[in-house]
Amino acid sequence: MPNLRAYFSLLKAAYVLMREGVITALPEEGAPPPVRLAKSIAKVIERRRSKSQAQSENLSKALNRLGPSWVKLGQFLATRPDIVGASIALDLELLQDRMDAFPAEDAKAMIAETLGMQVEEAFTTFGPAIAAASIAQVHRATLKTENGQRDVAVKVIRPGVRARFNRDLETFFVAARAMERHLSIAKRLQPVLVVDMLATSAKLEMDLRIEAAGFSEMGENTTGDEGFRVPKVDWERTGRDCVTMDWVEGTKLTRVEELTVAGHDLSAVANTLNQSFLRHVLRDGFFHADMHPGNLFLDADSTIVAVDLGIAGRMGKAERRYLAEILLGFITQDYLRVAEVHFEAGYVPDHHDVASFAQAIRAVGEPIHGQDADKVSMARLLTLLFEITELFDMKTQPQLLLLQKTMVVVEGVARKLDPKFNMWKSAEPVVAHYVSRLIGPIGKLDEAKDGLKAMAKMAQLAPEMATRAERLSHEIDTMARDGVRLDQPSIEAIGKAEARHSRSGRVALWVIALGVVALVWQQVL
């Protein structure tokens, strides 16, 4: 059974979510008794606020009150609209990952430890933090060069963030196991797997060498691309706890008025942003997955510079081909081909009818055609897609969900730059080019090369595979003759583990509800 600290942490989270009005907004239909009880309690203790305050503000405020790990959880769930719904996912996109800065002396100590040299040796000057988030903060510094001095940005990990996050992960697992045990929809959404993915994602994000490698890879991929670049990494001054890169001189894409006054063609910038993102996905199979306007700058020559590559996505060759065909099918209104690709990719189980799925896809695609650009809503499109996902038993595809989420964000940024921006018209030339490349002669040649490599690998493994097959055949014969037997200690251990797991899930739900009752009663007295 999980330790008491995890239960108390979960209890605190439930109380904060109630106070901030998040619990009362949850639907009651299909909710288990503890959740319905929690909603009733929440109506009593919910904080009074202006009726004009949006639910997204309530959720953001609650997660910020709970601390950095919960902010990171919110950011991660923003990439999983299949779990929280498209509307809440969009609300979570507004979550501002802003924390109080930790002292510069602590940052210097982290840098010295990870680089093996003092800050004064590594940098000519080292300024105070200019931005602080849940995992790291950024400082401006300068370096000596042959031509004088060069400005750089130094991102430093927050002290103690790994230990804090590991403690909070246990709380997330307690909640996920309880959901998986007692909510029928959770069996399809697999919340425990989601928390596992969060743990892996955060672990990578907390090693700044991984982010540096991402910048290096994207820099190589985009060499020669017009209108888009990423800052160059200084590997000599980069380690697990800090990354140093070129300082970006430019204007954030959040400052639309300043960009207009500066004379930039914002319609062209919006088009460049969208087409660059699609090229990264379809050409490179590696894309920036956190492209909100705060992470995007425009320099003097109208080149977009992307920073903060803590969240990135990857797409394999097969996935890119499927994606390109699906996007082109939506653009050209070939819904039957879109449906066929879903079946070929294995996204939809074979027992469903292709024509029926194509009909459902048409219901998603038709609303985006024949309308003014400012009326085409990607949020509405995603809502319909997730409803169809449930109807046709489509398995969750995390890499596609991250991609879809980023597409929504990119479109949102482009719309702020150009209110009449049409993502689909902008996408068509890029998608058409890569469809012809991926499924045309060049694509077939690439597939043939991959096939030959696979055959060569199998030939190398053939002797080992033959030995394993012989051993497996012998074991199967033994099982067929003697049966599968478990000794008594093994049977008892399995029974105890199952009982313990079941009790853990029930206790997690009831301790939240009953604990909040105690808190409310204490306040009343």
How do residues 291-322 score in pLDDT, each as one tens digit? Answer: 888 899 999 999 999 999 988 989 888 888 88
Q: Which residue has the tokens 């910038």?
A: 269
Cβ count within 10 A of residue 459: 9
Q: pLDDT tier at 375 (50, 70, 90 boundaries)?
A: low
> In this predicted structure, what is the pLDDT of residue 154?
97
pLDDT tens for 227-246 read: 999 999 999 999 999 999 99
Q: pLDDT tier at 207 (50, 70, 90 boundaries)?
A: very high
- Answer yes or no: is pLDDT of 518 > 50: no
Q: Which residue has the tokens 């459902």?
A: 360
- Transcribe 457-522 into DSSP letters: HHHHHHHHHHHHHHHHHHHHHHHHHH-----HHHHHHHHHHHHHHHHHHHHHHHHHHHHHHHHHHH
Domain ranges of the chain: 249-439
Residue type, 151: D
The stretch 336-345 carries a mean pLDDT of 89
Residue type, 304: I
Is the alpha carbon torsion for 515, 521, 523, 525 positive or negative?
A: negative
- Distant-in-sequence, close-in-space partners of 130: CB < 8 Å, separation ≥ 6: 138, 139, 140
Q: Which residue has the higher pLDDT, 444 or 286?
A: 286
Question: In angstroms, rounded to a whole number, what is the distance separating the alpha carbons of residues 325 and 434?
Answer: 9
- Answer yes or no: is pLDDT of 279 > 90: yes
The string over 505-523, giving b where at least 16 C-beta atoms fall within 10 Å of a residue's C-beta and e elsewhere, is: beebbebbbebbeebbeee
Cβ(290)–Cβ(214) under 8 Å? no
- Answer yes or no: is pLDDT of 182 > 80: no
Residue 283 burial (10 A CB sphere; 0-12, 13-18, 19+): middle
Question: In angstroms, rounded to a whole number, what is the distance separating the alpha carbons of residues 32 and 184?
Answer: 10
Angle at 495 (CA atoms; ends 493, 498), nearest 5 degrees: 110
Q: Which residue has the tokens 């400005």?
A: 151
Ranges of H-type helices in 31-99: 33-45, 55-66, 68-77, 81-84, 86-93
- Distant-in-sequence, close-in-space partners of 284: CB < 8 Å, separation ≥ 6: 218, 221
DSSP helix/strand/coil, 396:
coil
SS3 of 264-327: the string is: CCHHHHHHHHHHHHHHHHHHHCEEECCCCHHHEEECCCCCEEECCCCCEEECCHHHHHHHHHHH
- Answer yes or no: is pLDDT of 466 > 50: yes
DSSP helix/strand/coil, 26:
coil
> In this predicted structure, what is the pLDDT of residue 523?
40
Cβ(309)–Cβ(215) under 8 Å? yes
> In this predicted structure, what is the pLDDT of residue 210?
95
Q: pLDDT tier at 406 (50, 70, 90 boundaries)?
A: confident
Residue type, 18: M
- Answer yes or no: is pLDDT of 517 > 70: no
Q: Which residue has the higher pLDDT, 96 or 181?
A: 181
Angle at 243 (CA atoms; ends 237, 244), nearest 5 degrees: 60
Specify which of 254-268, 320-334, 400-414, 474-488 reaches the highest per-range mean pLDDT.
254-268
Of 180-184, 375-379, 387-391, 512-516, minimum mean pLDDT range: 512-516
Average pLDDT value over all residues in the chain: 79
Instruction: State the DSSP code for 263.
Output: T
Cβ(251)–Cβ(263) under 8 Å? no
Q: Which residue has the tokens 């994602």?
A: 201
Question: In angstroms, rounded to a whole number, what is the distance separating the alpha carbons of residues 429 and 450?
Answer: 27
Question: In angstroms, rounded to a whole number, what is the distance separating the alpha carbons of residues 104 and 57?
Answer: 31
Q: Which residue has the higher pLDDT, 417 or 7?
A: 417
Cβ count within 10 A of residue 157: 23
The stretch 161-165 carries a mean pLDDT of 89
> In this predicted structure, what is the pLDDT of residue 255?
92
Q: Which residue has the higher pLDDT, 432 or 503?
A: 432
> In this predicted structure, what is the pLDDT of residue 525?
42
> In this predicted structure, what is the pLDDT of residue 462?
63
> In this predicted structure, what is the pLDDT of residue 515?
46
> In this predicted structure, what is the pLDDT of residue 232?
96
- Answer yes or no: is pLDDT of 173 > 60: yes
- Answer yes or no: is pLDDT of 221 > 80: yes
Question: Residues with catalytic annotation?
Answer: 290
**Residue of 507, 502, 505, 511 lying closest to 177 (CA atoms):** 505
Q: pLDDT tier at 109 (50, 70, 90 boundaries)?
A: very high
- Answer yes or no: is pLDDT of 323 > 70: yes
- Answer yes or no: is pLDDT of 371 > 80: no
Q: Which residue has the higher pLDDT, 140 or 327?
A: 140
Specify which of 39-53, 62-76, 346-360 reaches the highest per-range mean pLDDT.
346-360
Percent above pLDDT 90 for the chain: 30
Of 338-347, 377-386, 389-398, 501-510, minimum mean pLDDT range: 501-510
Question: Given the DSSP bridges, would you call strands 136-145 and 286-288 parallel, antiparallel or unpaired?
Answer: unpaired
Specify which of 78-82, 215-219, 478-482 reaches the highest per-range mean pLDDT.
215-219
Cβ(368)–Cβ(361) under 8 Å? no
The stretch 445-467 carries a mean pLDDT of 62
Q: pLDDT tier at 214 (50, 70, 90 boundaries)?
A: very high
> In this predicted structure, what is the pLDDT of residue 519?
42
- Judge if pTM exceeds 0.85: no
Cβ(129)–Cβ(137) under 8 Å? yes
Of 7-11, 88-92, 257-261, 270-274, minimum mean pLDDT range: 88-92
**Helix, strand, coil proportions of the chain in percent (round to 5)?**
65, 10, 25
Question: Given the DSSP bridges, would you call strands 304-306 and 228-229 parallel, antiparallel or unpaired?
Answer: parallel
Percent above pLDDT 70 for the chain: 71
The stretch 259-287 carries a mean pLDDT of 94
Ranges of H-type helices in 351-440: 354-365, 378-391, 398-417, 423-439
Specify which of 179-183, 203-207, 422-426 reaches the highest per-range mean pLDDT.
203-207
Beta bridge partners of 305: 229, 297
